[in-house]
Amino acid sequence: MAVHAHPDDESSKGAATSAKYVAEGVEVMVVSCTGGERGDILNPNLAGDPHVLRDMAEVRRHEMAAAAQALGVHHRWLGFVDSGLPEGDPLPPLPPGCFGLEDVETAAAALVRVVREFRPHVMTTYDENGGYPHPDHVMCHKVSVAAFEGAADLERFPGGEPWQPLKLYYNGGFSRERIEVFHRAIVESGGESPFAEWLEQRSDRPERRVDARIRCAEHFEARDRALLAHATQIDPGGFFFRVPRQQQAELWPTEEFELARSAVGTATPEDDLFAGVRDVVGGSAPAPGSAA
């Protein structure tokens, strides 16, 4: 089960890993905490599109359905309202009723219901900083951790059959090392790298730990189809596509994760999110209802 803040996050973070496990027969569910209703139009080709401007929520629901089909995953909306990304100094208050202002236990209870229904062995989400400090990403972290820790606790979250996921990971993917590899490849080929400013802005940011590297290059094509399905959010000429797919596969054929919680024995570094889990559930692959 991959828990994300907005539709499109599932396609930019761990998407090829999701597609890989689907191809191996694992059931994977993506949970979108919000509908992305307050998202900006980030694709210049759609700027001013009257349909998008009229109903961003509906457009993003259709985009998410197409992305889920591209990856082969199940999908569930958690039903909370996008907080938007506050800008300014000082930052303006978040809009009333948005996800970022929800009570953590109340929001976690909604996710617990989905966890108890789907019964994943593995969950993925964001680190405590949200991957980046968007209020919905930070809240997604809090809610996911609470659900992971509380899904087996009927006193904390009454109702349904209790279920304990076995491992919780934080998404990696935008490490400085990875971006530097792509930056050098573009510069050495005589191109203009879109990553120079990104690297400069993050020069003093500490790197997160990498505990698992999942080889998934053969599923980059599915990842890219899922990304492009989110047409309002992804510029087909943007930085996601500046490094040719084959070159990405040669330079960096993995997606990375940080192991945050584990109820099974495992040794890092891992090359499988189900390391240790297979010994518990039996067989060469997780049982139906397991997810990455």
6 is known to lie in a ligand binding site: yes
Kindly report the length of the chain. Answer: 292
Q: How far apart are CA 44 and CA 156, in angstroms?
A: 46
- The residues facing 255 across adjacent strands are 214
**Contact, 193 vs 42, CB < 8 A?**
no
Q: What's the order of all strands across the beta sheet hosting 2-4? A: 74-80, 29-34, 2-4, 122-125, 167-171, 254-262, 212-215
Closest listed residue to residue 9, CA positions, set 144, 151, 107: 144
DSSP code at position 234 = -
Residue 225 host element (H or E)? helix 220-229
Q: How far apart are CA 36 and CA 58, in angstroms?
A: 10
Q: How far apart are CA 104 and CA 282, in angstroms?
A: 34
173 phi and psi angles, rounded to 5 deg = 110, -35
**Binding site as annotated, residues:** 6, 9, 137
**Binding site as annotated, residues for Zn(2+):** 6, 9, 137
